[in-house]
Structure 1
């Protein structure tokens, strides 16, 4: 129990996660501007930190989901996406045998960042990239995303230790505290969190609407945890399966 208390005491608060999301929404377009002007590896790693950190704060996936995302999976999402959002299916990740494909559902603005990054990648010499969206010079996926995340977190001066595991644990913990059993199960399945009881992931999140609804549950649990009022700046709205209209606001999207 003492170990568990120590673990939870290290978790980033809902306010810290929201602060990172707000900061990343400003930093990502700025870094893309700089990369379009002059590509450098330093800028690339900074972008990885902010973009993957942003995704982690929204979805709670392990870093392997982001590092294993391929150009083909991006292209498939581009072809099938639309006004409701863009659903990226990532086949290779740690718990794919239990959950199947992991999913990221992005708004038009968020997917636009990815489109800009892929356009930048297309101009990078072939010998300096591979077939992963977060590419490296080698043949395998990026192995240092946690370092990139820590640099991004420090750049925003949020404070405290951070890792993808801490963010993932925090989102699961806050969802457990602030949502009912059914909602917690949906969030856990979306995060590929419970490998012993969950059904395969693709069956749990079959389309953009359901994925957006679960994203909303994660957002709401953060907001409840930090006890802050909702923003009034609306990005997109949708109706979850339960019928309640859920609004994606600028503090998260």
Structure 2
């Protein structure tokens, strides 16, 4: 017994010594953060900080990044990184949890677009954890998440940084998904109960519901601003004509100098030409592979390219691009010289770069080509897509618009939701004339609503002197039957009973109730006694 107590005492002493004291942990974290601050200050003095698009670990958290299109709005990534606290990298449990969540979101065979989207999700979740863990104790237990007041202040903090409502909505959606993952498979060191995890997830869902109205109003405002800057059909036509003239000349220059600047200039003109016709997203051009171009379907003098990887391929299938023989010759000339260009030997995509990844700067090359053609403003691929969809709605028939929207892989229901709330001046005036036309003239009195069918009347009781209903004085044979008149149905007789004369009314048939004698049920022993008494009455 004494030996067991001694072993227990030594085990407690060793366990106490193995634990790291909070003071030591704070001291080490402080030294680590101070060293990081010094390195960042030196880096800021010597090197210009990279843009969020060039960062691989913390990509741009804007919602446009998830659609694989360059954002045309001012990204708040820099302000978020400077204002919010840094992620606690010194906690191994949180690092492991984030890596497991990243692998879970990417799946077994992630595409480059999926990797970018998952990186954006992890970026937002890391910022949320850094904000919630500020000033917390044991971070490995995840107790810092059990603070709903601080979660509400998180949304106010994002709004104070002038982050748009749609971006805040993306933050909350990604956080809700992460909390669902934690609630389903919590780490071993987690000390949050199921009730607490349910309360945290419920709070995030409530904040998401509260974001519906601001997000909708923001989307309508953006749509109204886009309609005010709609690209006219004349500008789209001029863009096509100028690009058709200059692309062969740029190809001749590229065959001579093989310069990367000329190559990117060609990218801008080719994408501008195709986007001004079809209004495809930027992701369609980014993900267009060399095999898809070389395996294009040929019919007469037309070539059809099917791009399988794009945003809405699950709903619309591959995005299609129809080219003439002259336009397809541009791609053949460019692919014929790709071996001599930088990164062309191992290239997979048509618009390749020095790396194996798809080109992420197509929007910049397109805007540079747009400005070089002398066209006003600086639109994006999304602006051209919105303009083509709007012109199809305003000038085309319903059937033509449906065909164009399917070819563009565009859902008209989403667009109509905002078109109905953002009318131009002409459409609004036409709606006013409709209101005035309805309110003209004198008032028309309300007409009574006619009944569809007549409800059958309730059968009235006949005043006939009849004896009271008894079970003893009247039997079934003595009751007088009631005879029905020939030629009249029972339903008609019921309806016309109130209009018939008293002499024609026959007495109703009286009901009789016959009660049979009750049968008493005896127990088996009692039955045997009664049976013996009947057989031998002398014993009684």
The 8 Å contact of residues 60 and 167 in structure 1, kept in 2 or not, is answered as: yes
Q: Note if 1:117 corresponds to 2:334.
A: yes
**What is the root-mean-square deviation of aligned Cα atoms in Å?**
1.8
In the alignment, the residues of structure 2 paired with residue 117 and residue 81 of structure 1 have an alpha-carbon distance, to the nearest angstrom, of 19
In the alignment, the residues of structure 2 paired with residue 196 and residue 101 of structure 1 have an alpha-carbon distance, to the nearest angstrom, of 20
The 8 Å contact of residues 130 and 139 in structure 1, kept in 2 or not, is answered as: yes
Deviation at 1:4, TM superposition (A): 2.7
Match of 1:160 in 2: 377
Which structure has the higher relative contact order (CA within 8 Å, separation 6+)?
1
Q: Residues 171 and 94 from structure 1, CA distance in 2 versus in 1: closer, same or farther, beyond 3 angstroms?
A: same
Match of 1:185 among 381, 402, 419: 402
In the alignment, the residues of structure 2 paired with residue 196 and residue 90 of structure 1 have an alpha-carbon distance, to the nearest angstrom, of 24
Q: Residues 196 and 129 from structure 1, CA distance in 2 versus in 1: closer, same or farther, beyond 3 angstroms?
A: farther
Specify the structure having the higher radius of gyration (Cα): 2
> Which sections of structure 1, spanning at least 5 residues, go unmatched?
198-253
Deviation at 1:3, TM superposition (A): 3.8
In the alignment, the residues of structure 2 paired with residue 82 and residue 102 of structure 1 have an alpha-carbon distance, to the nearest angstrom, of 18
Q: Note if 1:75 corresponds to 2:294.
A: yes
Deviation at 1:120, TM superposition (A): 1.7
Report 1:143-158 matches (<5 A): 143-158=360-375
Q: Which runs of 4+ in 1 moved over 6 A?
A: none
Deviation at 1:11, TM superposition (A): 2.2
Match of 2:533 in 1: none
Match of 1:142 in 2: 359
Match of 1:15 in 2: 234
Match of 1:27 in 2: 246
In the alignment, the residues of structure 2 paired with residue 17 and residue 140 of structure 1 have an alpha-carbon distance, to the nearest angstrom, of 30
Match of 2:281 in 1: 62
> Which sections of structure 2, spanning at least 5 residues, go unmatched?
1-219, 415-540
Match of 2:319 in 1: 102
In the alignment, the residues of structure 2 paired with residue 176 and residue 151 of structure 1 have an alpha-carbon distance, to the nearest angstrom, of 29
| Structure with the higher strand share, 1 or 2 | 1
Match of 1:170 in 2: 387
Q: Note if 1:93 corresponds to 2:310.
A: yes
Helix, strand or coil at the partner of 1:116: helix
Q: Residues 97 and 40 from structure 1, CA distance in 2 versus in 1: closer, same or farther, beyond 3 angstroms?
A: same
How many residue pairs align between the two structures? 195
The 8 Å contact of residues 128 and 137 in structure 1, kept in 2 or not, is answered as: no
In the alignment, the residues of structure 2 paired with residue 156 and residue 119 of structure 1 have an alpha-carbon distance, to the nearest angstrom, of 27
In the alignment, the residues of structure 2 paired with residue 171 and residue 127 of structure 1 have an alpha-carbon distance, to the nearest angstrom, of 33
Match of 2:98 in 1: none
Match of 2:350 among 104, 120, 133: 133
In the alignment, the residues of structure 2 paired with residue 149 and residue 57 of structure 1 have an alpha-carbon distance, to the nearest angstrom, of 11
Q: Residues 129 and 142 from structure 1, CA distance in 2 versus in 1: closer, same or farther, beyond 3 angstroms?
A: farther
In the alignment, the residues of structure 2 paired with residue 73 and residue 195 of structure 1 have an alpha-carbon distance, to the nearest angstrom, of 28
